[in-house]
Chains A and B, each alone.
Chain A
Amino acid sequence: MASEDEPEGLSPTVSQVIEQFVAAMCADDEIGDDAIDRLEKLLRQGTVPKPDEINAALFNPPPDGDA
């Protein structure tokens, strides 16, 4: 969810899109909750993630302790 400490540079509209996007993913059984959490965290960093970063967030979680 959009938080008050939204990173600078992420416009309210972009935040709104991300919020709706995350909600849609959460309602989709095909996508794991952990993967959604990692992707949301990545999207809220303020910069546009690269395709490989999206891939890592969704499918290649870092080993425990690296997160």
Chain B
Amino acid sequence: MIRVKNIHIEEFRGIRDLDLDLDAKNFGICGPNGTGKSGVVDAIEFCITGDVTRLSGQGSGDLSVKAHAPHVDQHAHPEKANVTITADIPSLGKAVTIHRSVKNPKKVNITPYNEDVKTVIEELQTHPEFALSRREIIKYIITPPGKRSEDVQTLLRLDHIEKLRKSLTTFNNKRKNEADAAERTYVQAEIDFKNGLKIDTLERSLVLEKINEKRAILGLPVITKLEKETSFKAGVAAPKDKDKKPVLRKATALADISALQSAIKEGEPAPLVENRQSAKSLLEKLKGDEKTLILARQHGFIKTGLDLVTDGVCPLCDTEWNADDLRKHLRKKLLTAEEIEKLLAQLRVSINAVLQSLSERTQAVERVIQYSQNLKPPIEQAALAAYLKQLKDGERALTGFLKDHSEIEPAVQSIAGSWWSPSPDQQACIVECHEVVKALPDTSAEDEAREILIVAQERYERLLSATKTAKKQKSRSAVAREVLRHYNDSCTSVLEAIYDDVVKDFSNFYSVINREDEEKFVGKLTSAPAKLSFDVDFYGRGLFPPSAYHSEGHQDGMGLCLYLALMKHTLGNKFTFAVLDDVLMSVDTGHRREVCRLLKSEFPKTQFILTTHDRVWLQYMKTENLISRSQSFGGWTVDSGPRVWDDHDIWTEIQTELDKDDIAKAAWLLRRYLEYTATILADNLRARVEFRGDGHYDLGDLLPYVLKQCRKRLEDGEKSAAHWDRKEEKKTLAAKRAKAKELIAKTNVEQWAINPSVHFNEWANLQSHEFQEVVDAFKELLENLRCENEHCKSYLYILPRKGSVEEMRCNCGATNINLKKAA
């Protein structure tokens, strides 16, 4: 992987022209929503992969990189939209420049270009998850087990395993369907054979008895053994009539027609009624959930919907919704995978039994129609043909459902009504056929015996063939089932070992973040075919899904920890680069420092680019030395793109406006900058600010309290130095406090409440030279609150974050003021 040194972005998304100097170190990008942060993330992703997930991923519809990645004013000029990244490749000890233009997203220019470099860049391209948004990270936590399995396996580069499982499952299902069909054919062949000989069982002795009975009439030798090669008609003279037209054999035809009539007369067999009712009720249960079943199993729509329910508004129309309620509603609509599998297995058994009967009846009716057509003159059998069509439609509907479970409606219709008893006119057709056949001249006993032996021979051979096929298909189905079982077991075994490793890291990372309240936290990933269950400890009360009890902030933390654990497992030492786009927006302030420490301590070789809309969060990253560089975006316009807010040149910018005599603009800039800085200082110094429920603090709400606290902390430091008898330190701090007092006085902040004419709301009405004094005063004051070390320059902050204060210090430690007065 790489470490990014510099990013140059031109006319890309909301950015016109931007350079970011990262120096291959962790980097923070901060700005309110809509100021271009994600544009930078998109640019990095585009430069490395040629793609922008936001424009090409799920739910992006008609969007495309080529059409919509360029700045809106350049949408017809994709050649002007370019991103260039200069990076180090630690594993090669080389620097590389990667350039890509939206005009040709597939083409990347790499300089210098050689095989080693190419391999690294190509490997990076296969890991687009180096850049993740909060929505993408949280999906590992809140998605159902089936979807999580896919997501996690994709991240672990294990999607091959899931695809192979699906292929083996389809293979297994096909063999099962074939075996069921072959079994039905075999059963039908057996029935036909028994009907031909008018026997009830396939006992060898009984078959031989019947065959030899007919052979005796023809004076043929007795057959003593019934084997595959046995020929019932051995010795039977070939019929004189060589006419190839089907021959209606009276005895056989009468036996077949009588068998059909008897079956109808006896009524629908109890087992068939039972299976039909069972299939009907199961299908109706499924039909009640048909939309969910179809959408979930065939199109994944509900699952996709669940993924999208991460915020409080619909991502499509921005309608507000209660995410928890909506998730519950969607989950209710989904039958669990286990329930579906169980239900489908029961259905298969019942439907196969019904199909067997349908198949028998279909063939019986086909025969009657065939006999009717062979009569001279033929009997018109339109009514019977309609019955046959009804039977075949029923068969088609049921087999169709077994192949595609979304085809419920035809199956329900087919199973609902009984087809066992044909209508009176259809039964009349059967009776008519029977009567006409019966009225045919009787054949001689010899001819009848000959016919029966010939038909028996045909049906015997068909039975042998059907038996062989059924055995073969049954055996193949068994092998397919075993193959799938072995595969699932192997996957579960291998993946569980991986997940064990991952979950150990996950639990460790999460404990680091939440050491104050969940130090003994444990998580558990349970792998099963096609799903990955994820449960986490909730304050020692047991293991539950993460979204069951944990807050959004904790879920955010879990998402990050699981992502980091997965990346560590997948890439190991190659995990040198990650872009986290606003991933921790819900993590509360109490855990942010721990997040910083986690990233720093566990991933010292990984370059993180972190975006946030929260300026205080950015400051935490700086305070904790997670990032040494950052860029703030103070606003955005469609004409100029992000307003780059660099706190090192803000004074130059204000001065420029002052020089142009634009007091209003200079005053606006100073106010916004001071609001930004006051927020950081309020947090750093643990200032006692009047609480506002809406969280919106203006400059007047913050700065007076910040400066008051600053003076108090210095005073506390002075008292502490006196307490410990550190005279020099006390002297230095006294001077510092005096200087602070002087500088604060110059800013007039302390006068704001009592003298409206010096209040910040009046700045825009000041004369140029008057406002110049205000600017100079604040610049000097803020400088005084920073570390004096030129390489540090961090604002001072209080440790610890909670409880009794101990010290006020800077990042580098050059400034470290003891605030404790007793051991």
Contact = CB atoms under 8 A, between A and B. Distances in A.
B332 interface: no
Given A11-B158, A48-B164, A49-B167, 5 more contacts: A17-B487, A25-B483, A30-B478, A35-B479, A54-B483
Nearest to B156: A13
Interface string A15-43: 01100110011001011000100010001
Given A51-B171, A51-B174, A24 B479 contact: no
A16 B489 contact: no
Ranked nearest first, the 3 interchain pairs of A and B with the lowest CB-CB distance are A51-B171, A24-B486, A20-B490
Nearest to A23: B490
Nearest to A21: B490
Interface in B461-497: 476, 478-480, 482-483, 486-487, 489-491, 493-495
Nearest to B169: A51
B223 to A, nearest CB: 36
B726 interface: no
A1 interface: no
B486 A48 contact: no
B486 A55 contact: no
A29 to B, nearest CB: 10
Contact of A48 (B160, B494, B495): B160
Interface string B303-340: 00000000000000000000000000000000000000
Contacts, number: 70
A59 to B, nearest CB: 6
A20 B483 contact: no
A57 to B, nearest CB: 10
Given A24-B489, A51-B174, A10 B483 contact: no
Contact of B171 (A10, A11, A24, A55): A55
B493 A50 contact: no
B480 A17 contact: no
Contacts of B157: 11, 13
Contacts of A58: 476, 479-480, 483
A21 B256 CA distance: 51
A54 B482 CA distance: 14
A45 to B, nearest CB: 12
A55 B494 contact: no
15 contacts: A13-B158, A13-B498, A14-B158, A17-B494, A20-B490, A21-B486, A24-B486, A25-B486, A30-B482, A31-B482, A35-B479, A48-B163, A48-B164, A51-B170, A54-B483
Interface residues of B, number: 28
B669 interface: no
B161 interface: yes
Interface of A: 10-11, 13-14, 16-17, 20-21, 24-25, 28, 30-31, 35, 39, 43, 48-52, 54-55, 58-59
Interface string B138-160: 00000000000000000011101
Nearest to A19: B490
Most buried by A among B158, B163, B167: B167
Interface string B154-198: 001110110110011011001100000000000000000000000
Contacts of B175: 55
B486 A43 contact: no
B161 A31 contact: no
A37 to B, nearest CB: 14
A14 B162 CA distance: 10
A14 B468 CA distance: 38
Most buried by A among B156, B163, B164, B170: B164
Interface in B259-281: none
A54 B167 contact: yes
Given A51-B174, A58-B483, A13 B494 contact: yes
Most buried by A among B170, B480, B483: B483
A14 B491 CA distance: 9
A21 B487 contact: yes
B174 A55 contact: yes
A52 B498 CA distance: 31
B479 A31 contact: yes
A54 B479 contact: no
Contact of B494 (A20, A30, A50, A54): A20
B482 A28 contact: yes
Contacts of B478: 30
Interface string B512-528: 00000000000000000
A51 B479 contact: no
A43 to B, nearest CB: 7
Contacts of A55: 171, 174-175
Nearest to A52: B171
Contacts of B490: 17, 20-21, 24
Contact of A14 (B161, B480, B486): B161
Contacts of A49: 164, 167
Interface string B592-622: 0000000000000000000000000000000
A11 B571 CA distance: 12
B104 to A, nearest CB: 25
A27 to B, nearest CB: 9
Given A43-B164, A51-B170, A59-B476, A17 B491 contact: yes
Most buried by B among A13, A39, A50, A58: A13
